[in-house]
Amino acid sequence: MKAIGFTKCHPADHPEALLDLDIPEPAAPEGHDMLVEVRAVSVNPVDTKRRRSEEPQGGPRILGFDAAGVVRAVGPACTLFRPGDEVFYAGVVTRAGSNAELQLVDERIVGRKPRTLSFAEAASLPLTTITAWEGLFDRLGLHEGGGAGDALLVVGGAGGVGSMVIQLAKQRTGLTIVATASRPETSAWCRELGAHHVVDHKGDIGAQMKALGLKGARYVFSTNTTARNWGQIVEAVAPQGKIVLIESQAPIDARDLMRKSVSLHWELMFTRPMFGTPDMIEQHRLLDAVADLADHGRIRHTMTRNLGPMTAARLREAHALVESGTMIGKVVLEGI
């Protein structure tokens, strides 16, 4: 089958950073696995980081996590889907990825594709939505309808994860949402998605929040450049607040939080499938809930660039866009 992968780490603009390949089809699905025909994928920072830093061992590495497609076969333990069903999901880092014609994926981390979205639009949602949902509700401990009178600071509001944090917080909580952005177009995007206020993360975040009449953020969701913004986050978080982080590009000092008795949480949406946790089916449930929100017009997809049918050259272009740090929303490619 056709696939796109890499055999050696290169910058995105290197002609061999990603290669068009012909590889064997996956084996017939066993257990809870399903075989999915991939119709569209999107690119996330995790794709680019692994392409840059993880030399493949014993053959080409196939990346790709976000996907939307059609079930072609199911394993004997599957009960949630059957052949012909349209699905979307984010896969897991320990298995072959979605940059291929066919992919094996555990049904317990798969949701039904929103009926009102195309495959390309649906592919923009899973990884960022799972990260946002788990960060808000599993890590920060928020409940539907809760948070009235408290503020949520979303650092990096216009990115893929930030875009979903804003939407889910707007639809499922009573929080006052403060997003950070530094350009007119990113500020406008955050407001369109539901942010009540936008502050510039290149300025003094705490002072800007005080100017808005906010004493501090009871909750902070940092989506990128946490180390660079750490001092600002520590200043802006309210006493006895909670912070969730999703990346660790440079060290931070958690001792800075002691004076305010602030709790620190990590969110990695791959944890449940990597460890086969007893509750990994929660990702199936939350993706189905997100599909319902999308179909009722309560949240929107975050695809802002569609590069067309996937080739190695177009996928290299997508990786370069993500690495630029200027993307609003998500970049998507159609199936091979």
How high is the pLDDT of residue 58? 83
Same fold, 2-125+277-334 and 128-266: no
Whether this model's pTM surpasses 0.85: yes
pLDDT digits (tens, 9 = 90+) for 132-163: 999 999 999 999 999 999 999 999 999 999 99
Q: What's the burial of 92, exposed, middle or buried (CB within 10 Å: 0-12/13-18/19+)? A: buried
For the chain, what are the domain ranges? 2-125+277-334, 128-266
CA-based R_g, the chain, Å: 20
How high is the pLDDT of residue 151? 97
CATH class in words for 128-266: alpha beta
How high is the pLDDT of residue 168? 98
pLDDT digits (tens, 9 = 90+) for 22-65: 999 999 999 999 999 999 999 999 999 999 999 998 889 999 99
Walking along the chain (336 residues) 10 residues at a time, the average pLDDT comes out as 96 95 96 98 96 90 97 98 98 96 98 98 98 98 94 95 97 97 94 96 89 94 92 96 92 96 98 97 98 98 97 97 91 95
Segments in the chain forming alpha helices (H): 45-53, 119-123, 126-133, 160-172, 184-193, 205-211, 226-236, 271-275, 282-295, 312-323
Contact indicator for 61, 5 with CB cutoff of 8 Å: yes
How high is the pLDDT of residue 177? 98
Question: Domain 2-125+277-334 classified CATH 3.40.50.920?
Answer: no
Tokens describing residue 108 = 């317990």
